[in-house]
Chain A
Amino acid sequence: MTPPVRIAQLSCGPEYSGIQHEIDAAAREVGGEIFFPDVALKDIRRDFDKFGLDVRSPDLKLTIARAMALVEGRVEADAVFIATCFRCAEAAIVRNELRRYIHENSKLPVVSYSFTERTTSGTLLTRMEALTTIARRRALLARETQQGITLGVDSGSATTKAVVMKDNRIIGTGWQPTIEVIKSAQEVIAHALQEAGITRDEVQAVGTTGYGRFLVGREIHADLIQEELTVNSKGAVYLANRQHGPATVIDIGGMDNKAISVMDGIPGVFTMGGICAGASGRFLEMTAKRLGVDITELGPLSMKGIGGRVPMNSYCIVFGTQSLVNALAAGSTREDVAAAACHSVAEQVFEQQLQEVDIKEPVIMVGGTSLIEGLVFAMGELLQTKIVVPPYSQYIGAVGSALLVSGFIKDD
């Protein structure tokens, strides 16, 4: 049996919020094991002073000392999970600084999370899976070229995508809204195979990712079922041809958003989430509907407008929609409203998530929303950089999956 991946927990509050067992359960489910780095009082005193962040909470001091024990190699771990209470400013500062400190001074993959008493193992699962994958499958993630004939399926919350790849080229694609998870997957697969002119039997290996990865993976006998954080990172740097060095991957999805700091194609720090659909592709879909345009037309429309003319804050999708309706009623142009909606979504992601990762160029935007040029433009403005949108960016998960699974092709 493979030994469990040792995930060091740096935290303040989960035991008292009643969710420690949820963290343990999520780790166990993906072959991980949570542990608390052992430090003595003298270490806490010394390391707390040395780190220099003068917080009041003793458990945060302990957390700082535990982080330093990991970075200095006094305690060994495969990955780090940082968790503090949602809405605690003191802990948020520590969480951010420790995440940055560990990322800059060690090779340990880190995920940070702010929890409430409602946090469940289900919410944590994808993050934990990514941590264990990075720790356990470095060899697999090192793959830079696709070989043979492979199929990748991304069963997302909003859309299902499939690609067929052959000898490092994409030769077939399929895309449709996710309705019935398995049925949608079968249909996009059929489309991709038909476009590629390949039969299912000719496919040498199959990979799945996205929310429906387990269900679809079992149904189509996938060789690799992998969460979307590592798969999308891999897919992004592969498609953008930035496989070496640092990169930042932003994926504004239908249900949640991912922001990932990548080094040589392997995620170092990542966040996943978003407080409300107001910060997701869903809000843009609603905007398009309200403006009477297809989602594919929203991008060009927004590029003709000036977002600053319309006050819009989609922190909450209901309030966002309200601003949208009010702006139109007050006579704002559709172009300005479209631009404001794009800006608002970009701003939410910027404020809520991009603060949790280190932004290093190139910044690569992927996922269906990366095709909305107004959104990419708004993000570029906020980050003061030119955003890279690689070809096939909407198929990112499927491409990443097809690329990685070629490592599973059995030699005849």
Chain B
Amino acid sequence: MVKVFIYPATSLILSDMVARFGHTPLSSATAIRERIQTAGLESAPLQITPDEPKKGLKWAAVEVPAGVRGRMSLYGPMIGECEAAIIINDADLAFGCMGCARTNELIKFLIHQKEIPKLELYYPKNEEEGVKFVAAIKRFLTELGASK
């Protein structure tokens, strides 16, 4: 099983595809779960405390907005951990954890910097593209499994 970073990290489609074809998706939900299942100081709703933007300084400097650094404290470790990535490039309606364009630009950049297998896609816009989309993902994930 390969740890696959998915972009958007909130994607139901990518999360499903990665798990369906036998690998582990690294998603926003798993990062949030880790926080809300860890004791500490109360910081509703996501249990992201003001310390998280400080941890985010590892990926973005202090003049970068707190919301970017806080989000990077979720995604930075995942980007470090991932062994492959699938990126949907027109994910402009992913909200919440993926709701900040500046963070998203940084995430994509860091993924692109990393020498791991990557698959870049657009969302399918019709059935024909749907077939190509699923086939490309299946091919990518099968090859990952074979190389492992």
Contact = CB atoms under 8 A, between A and B. Distances in A.
A76 interface: no
A17 B100 contact: no
Contacts, number: 108
Interface residues of A, number: 33
Contact of B43 (A13, A21, A60): A21
B70 A58 contact: no
Contacts of B22: none
Contacts of A86: 65-66
A20 B70 CA distance: 12
B102 A90 contact: yes
Interface in A1-54: 12-21, 24, 41, 44-45
B53 A17 contact: yes
A14 B46 CA distance: 10
Interface of A: 12-21, 24, 41, 44-45, 55-62, 84-88, 90-91, 115-118
Contacts of B54: 117
Contacts of A90: 101-102
Interface of B: 42-46, 48-54, 63-71, 74, 92-102
A156 B6 CA distance: 53
Contact of A58 (B51, B71, B99): B99
A62 B101 CA distance: 13
Contacts of B46: 15-16, 20
B21 to A, nearest CB: 27
B65 A88 contact: yes
Contacts of A19: 50, 66
Given A18-B50, A20-B45, A85 B93 contact: no
A340 B126 CA distance: 65
B71 A18 contact: no
Contacts of B93: 41, 44-45, 58, 61
A51 B92 CA distance: 17
A98 to B, nearest CB: 16
Contact of B70 (A17, A24, A88): A17
A56 B101 CA distance: 6
Contacts of B66: 13, 16-19, 85-86, 115-117
7 contacts: A13-B70, A13-B100, A15-B46, A16-B66, A16-B67, A18-B50, A57-B102
Contacts of B71: 16
Q: Which of A12, A41, A84 has the most CB of B within 10 A?
A: A12
Contacts of B70: 13, 16-18, 117
B63 A88 contact: no
